[in-house]
Amino acid sequence: MTLTIKHLTHWYTDESNKLYTDVNLEFESGKFYAIVGESGSGKTTILSFLAGLDSPREGEIAVDGESINKIGLTKYRQRYVATIFQAYNLLTTMTAYQNIETALAVTNSSHKGDRQYILDQLAKVGIDEEKAFKNVQKLSGGEQQRVAIVRALLVDAPIVAADEATGNLDHENSELIVDLFKELAHDYGKTVILITHDREVAQEADVQIELKDHKFTVK
């Protein structure tokens, strides 16, 4: 599967002040991409287009040549993308375990209600059993983020779009998440796209795309 950005141009309020002009990029299955850039450079904006949450002023996003607008953005989001955003949107009255259990219940996964499976998924991102049964508000920001990553990955989508998913994490946990992204790309054939301002994290990706002065450069 190939995800492409074709002739994308975008501005928010003032057409003479474009965020970017005629962007063309290609993302392939099995690769881990990092889009790196300073704060305000437009990383979240491009990710929101790739995730089908918003549409650019001009140009399009396509999956194997078919425009995601033609597929339908809702259908595209449901079938193709697992998104991980800075805001965790966890259910705050519940434990980490219950958040995953609840999310799993609405998928067509064969693991619904599978206690060991849920605990194993949480353990993969360093949430042990004790933490799994704590109310999520009693977990640190980084721990909440890791619960949110597990939840996003329950949806077995071919594209993983992550916004600063390691931003709140310390070095050790950041490594853990980067390793998970590598595994998703290399072992599960997913297209992983992470946006980050952290160059060290970006260097771990197979392909680094720098967003600077309104331009994307593939390294």
Interface with ligand ATP (CB under 6 A), residue from 5, 20, 32, 42: 42
Interface with ligand ATP (CB under 6 A), residue from 23, 25, 36, 37: 37
Query: Restricting to residues 163-202, which ones interact with ligand ATP according to CB under 6 A?
Result: 197
Does residue 18 touch ligand ATP according to CB under 6 A? no
Cβ of residue 128: shortest distance to ligand ATP, in angstroms?
31
Q: Which long-range contacts (CB under 8 A, 24 or more apart) does 76-80 make?
A: 76/52, 77/51, 77/52, 77/53, 79/157, 80/52, 80/157, 80/158, 80/159
Interface with ligand ATP (CB under 6 A), residue from 8, 19, 184, 192: 19
Does residue 133 touch ligand ATP according to CB under 6 A? no
Interface with ligand ATP (CB under 6 A), residue from 4, 9, 44, 109: 44
Q: Which two tokens stand for residue 165?
A: 């998913």
Kindly tell me the burial class for residue 64, based on how many C-beta atoms sit within 10 Å of its own C-beta (0-12, 13-18, 19 or more): exposed
- Cα separations (Å) of 57 from 5, 14, 105, 149? 13, 12, 37, 30
Cβ atoms within 10 A of the Cβ of 66, count? 11
- Binding residue count for ligand ATP, defined by CB under 6 A: 12
CB of 29 or CB of 55, closer to ligand ATP: 55
Does residue 162 touch ligand ATP according to CB under 6 A? no
Q: Which two tokens stand for residue 63?
A: 């999956």
Contact between 20 and 8 under an 8 Å Cβ cutoff? The reply is yes
Interface with ligand ATP (CB under 6 A), residue from 4, 9, 29, 45: 45
Chain positions contacting ligand ATP, by CB under 6 A: 12-13, 19, 37, 39-45, 197
